[in-house]
Structure 1
Amino acid sequence: MSAFVARPTKVQSLLTSHGVEDINTVSSFLASPSHAFDCSDPTHTVYVLIGSAILTTAEAVFDHVSESAYPITLVLAGGIGHSTSLLYEAVSRHPRYSPIASRVQQLPEAQVFKLLMVEFWPDLADKLNNGTLTLLIDDRSTNCGANAIEAKRELDYHGVKPKRLFIIQDPTMNRRTYATFEKVFNGDKVELLPWSFFPRLILSDDGFVAWEVQGKKMNKHELWEPARFVSLILGEIPRIRDDAVGYGPNGAGYIAHVDIPEEVEQAWRRLNNALESA
């Protein structure tokens, strides 16, 4: 399936109160379901952090692992794919991480996240050294299907049999990634717990847009340019549809079946029609 690309000039036409509402409707669906991190079964819980240019996800995982008093197994997943350069850019423009920008160039996404972790969460480097953090690396996968396959391969190879597995992903890819893990881990006795955050576009009275997460305004360097964000979420809906051209069982068979609520389909159609007529 070819990538959906929305030109910035066309996206501007969607940035009305109704358009932003539809964007947030589609985005919220793709970011769900999401389960809060916990340690209710610490000895059998695994965290899989999937590479993306949205560093907020990595920060949430590293903060949680840092605060945990229990031993944790963490899988970092991601090779070099078509959007890996965006991760390099995200590091280079980030006020905290930019000093290591030259060191992440050409690294697989999993290795970028590992470097961020040991450089900026020194207590996690200590946990690696004393064995309270077990780190597994998949730096081969280049899409969410391969993320699930390679994560399972890493766990099986190291004899790790999780009862609970947190899947941490970019909000725009969360729903599809969860469906991929459902397919790959089908038959395993493991509870899959996707985690992501819920970004919202906020439209000001003067027509400018800003990002908000859980009521907190986000800096531009932390999330997406609006045109890329709209391209990503509009491109996801056709992929996760369970029809002849989608990725579900009735199409390519890459993911488990996903039910898309009618209100999400309607919001997607309005946005798509508005872009086509712009």
Structure 2
Amino acid sequence: MAELAEQINSLGQFCGRRDITELSQTALRQAYNIDTVDVFAFFGGSIVAGVATLAAAIQAKIARHYVIVGGHGHTTAALIKNARACYPEIDFDTSSEAQIFNQILHTQYGLSADFLETESTNCGNNITNLLALLTANNINCRSIILCQDATLQLRMAATMAQQVTDSVKVINYAAYAVSVVAKDDQLTFDQAIPGMWSLNKYVSLLLGEIQRLTDDQNGYGPAGKNYLAHVDVPALIQTNAHTLQQKFTVRTANPLFATELN
């Protein structure tokens, strides 16, 4: 069990990138020699707990503009269910993931995002719609922090990298950080996180991401569907993913939410 936990965590750390140690101006200065970024973009694919990370970013004043991105996609039904369970006092507007998260942000923290993007259905148009929103509002984006569900973080950054030039500094900060541990001959998370995926779902999502990130004819990189910039997937990650596929299912793309960018 301990070896399985280690293999899962290797995938989780690979996909759930955080390029700064914390959401603070000090951390930004240390890593990038800047106090604030132009945009902090939070994505609706995250679990409910991600809203606390968004709130922390706003409170830390690490960006000039804050955007929540998300319409309806494969994570929306789970988000609605968990949002209602965690916040029964809120009468949610379920028209978009962005609206749901903004309601939690306002009710729990007295904060609101500057902009909501409410039409996207997948990682690809999360990014293209975000960039279109920034352009429409005359926001010059030379630096951006992307904050997505930990399982999806690296793919979100690779999608952004394909759409912008190197002049845009793209910084990762996954919405949560979690580890899997072996306890009493069972696998479990090291902490309780509101709205967290089941362990099987979490691993399924990670395995699906490794398949998409692998730059071959079956992946989403330039050698495959060309949705993403190239990502180097280390041999150890590929080996661990292959082992885990023998014990867990792999999340496949839902055609209901597909576009030319998935």
TM-score of the two chains, using structure 1 as the length reference: 0.80
Q: 1:50 aligned to 2:38? A: no
2:222 corresponds in structure 1 to 249
2:258 paired residue number: none
Query: Is residue 226 of structure 1 aligned with residue 199 of structure 2?
Result: yes
- 1:182 deviates by 0.5
Counterparts in 2 of 1:143-162, with a 5 A limit? 143-162=122-141
Q: How does 1:53-72 map to 2 (within 5 A)?
A: 53-68=46-61, 72=64
Cα gap change, 1:45 to 1:20, in 2 (>3 Å): same
Question: Which blocks of at least 5 consecutive residues in structure 2 are unaligned?
Answer: 250-262
Q: How far did residue 42 of structure 1 move?
A: 5.3
The one-letter amino acid paired with 2:121 is T
Letter in 2 for 1:175: L
Residues 91, 244 of structure 1: alpha-carbon distance in 2 compared, 3 angstrom cutoff: same
* Contact in 2 for aligned 1:51/1:113 (Cα 8 Å): yes
**SS of the counterpart of 2:146?**
strand
Residue 7 of structure 2 corresponds to residue 18 of structure 1: no
CA RMSD of aligned residues (A): 2.0
Q: Quick one: which of 68, 84, 92 aligns to 1:103?
A: 92
Aligned residues: 240
Q: 1:147 is matched by which residue type in structure 2?
A: N
In 1, the alpha carbon distance for the partners of 2:199 and 2:63 equals 39
Q: Counterpart of 1:258 in 2: which secondary structure?
A: coil
2-side partners of 1:72 and 1:115: how far apart? 21
Query: Runs of 5+ in structure 1 lacking a partner?
Result: 1-15, 126-133
Counterpart of 1:112 in structure 2 is: 100
Looking at CA atoms only, which structure, 1 or 2, has the larger radius of gyration? 1
1:44 Cα deviation (Å)?
A: 4.8
Deviates more, 1:236-245 or 1:41-50: 41-50
In structure 2, do the counterparts of structure 1 residues 54 and 76 end up closer, same or farther at CA, with 3 Å as the change threshold?
same
C-alpha separation in 2, matches of 1:71 and 1:274: 42
Structure 2 residue aligned with 1:85:
77
Is the Cα–Cα contact under 8 Å of residues 33 and 175 in structure 1 kept in the other structure?
no
Task: Please identify which structure carries the higher helix content.
Answer: 1
The percent identity for this pair of structures is 25
Alignment of 1:106-145 (within 5 A): 106-122=94-110, 124-125=111-112, 135-145=114-124
Task: Output the amino acid matched with 2:44.
Answer: G
Q: Distance in 2 between matches of 1:218 and 1:17?
A: 19
SS in 2 for 1:103: coil
Q: Aligned letter for 2:246? A: N
**Residues 98-155 of structure 1: CA distance to partner in whole angstroms, max 9, x if unpaired?**
211x424x32001111111111111x25xxxxxxxx6111100111110110111011
CA-to-partner distance for each residue in 1:8-29, whole Å, 9 max, x for gaps? xxxxxxxx22212111111111
SS of match in other structure, 2:92: helix
Give TM-score scaled by structure 2 length. Answer: 0.84
**Aligned match for 1:73, one of 65, 90, 106:** 65
Change over 3 Å in CA distance of 1:42–1:138 after alignment to 2: farther
